[in-house]
Amino acid sequence: MSIGEPRPFDRGRDLERIVRLMSDAHALRGDYLHPGGMQWWFRRTPKDTFRLLVWDNGEDISAWLMDDAGYVVVRAARDNLASRLALVAWAERDLRARGASSIEVSAGDDEPALIEALAGRGYTRGETAGDLLVYDIDGRPPEPELPEGFRLVTLADLGDDDYIALHRAAWSTVKPSEYDRQLHDLVTSSPDFRRDMVPVVLAPGGMPAAYCIAWLDAASLQVEIEPLGTHPDYRERGLGRATVRDVHRLAYECGARSVMVWGSHDNVAARKLYTSAGMTPRRTVREYRRTL
């Protein structure tokens, strides 16, 4: 299958069209890639190791490719095994030409034809896998429980500088977070971003202590949590679980059918947090790698 050559991603021209293409796939074919989580991922477009490429078909996008330091995601408007493999083959040639030594892609355990085809191209299963966890909404969810003096607000009630500081603190345990005002502005200008869908826990005195972003996909009526974090000074108090349960409440109030989270991989603490809030494993997505 010949796919031709792509062009660089243009945010103003392409982002909303890619999001809508992903939304259709998520609603109609059950793609594990939620458009919300991908909008969060696309914040990395300014990074030198991150590329987004687009194939045009007249006025529409026929396919797109994301390359995040050799980890590749591909999707086509008419997404099927042949189109997916053609895009993977293009990515292999491109990475090899640019001096990369390997490529990594993902496949769900419920995609046996794709897994078999990747094996035929020399891919082997990696060591990491992510469970897709889901909370089905069949009535009003339980109310979040918070320690005395803590309260829940949303980003609509909080200044952006305070939010950025909270995110950086939550994600700087291993190494300093790269999240800054430029990346924040990219996230908040995404088509599906809503400030009223970003619950934030405030500690006594008003210090931001925990948060997450909830992304509503209107086509599938599914919400994705991506990302979630708790300030190091306020961990092990149930604030993350309360934030997840507040997402369940927000999702219920906006008519969503379910809430999902994906990508915890081998993070035992993250998995425990989500399952303690009532989210259950629904699907496993694994990484596959080949040498170029």
Residues 6+ away with beta carbon under 8 Å from 2: 86
CA distance linking residue 135 with residue 141, whole number of Å = 10
CA distance linking residue 46 with residue 30, whole number of Å = 30
- For 198-244, write each residue's pLDDT tens digit: 999 999 999 999 999 999 999 999 999 999 999 999 999 999 999 99
Cα separations in angstroms, 96 against 70, 93, 157: 10, 5, 48
| Residue 277: count of CB within 10 angstroms of its CB | 25
288 bridge partner residues: 105, 125
- Say what percent of the chain tops pLDDT 90: 88
CA distance linking residue 108 with residue 256, whole number of Å = 24
Per-residue buried b or exposed e for 171-197, using 16+ beta carbons within 10 Å of the residue's own CB: eeeeeebebeeebbebbbebebbbeeb
Shortest CA distance to 199 belongs to which of 254, 164, 235, 245?
245
The letter for the amino acid at 59 is E
Tokens of 109: 């355990």
- For 242-291, write each residue's pLDDT tens digit: 999 999 999 999 999 999 998 756 678 888 999 999 999 999 999 999 99
pTM for the full model?
A: 0.95
Q: Are strands 7-8 and 50-57 parallel, antiparallel or unpaired?
A: antiparallel
**Average predicted confidence (pLDDT) for the chain:** 95
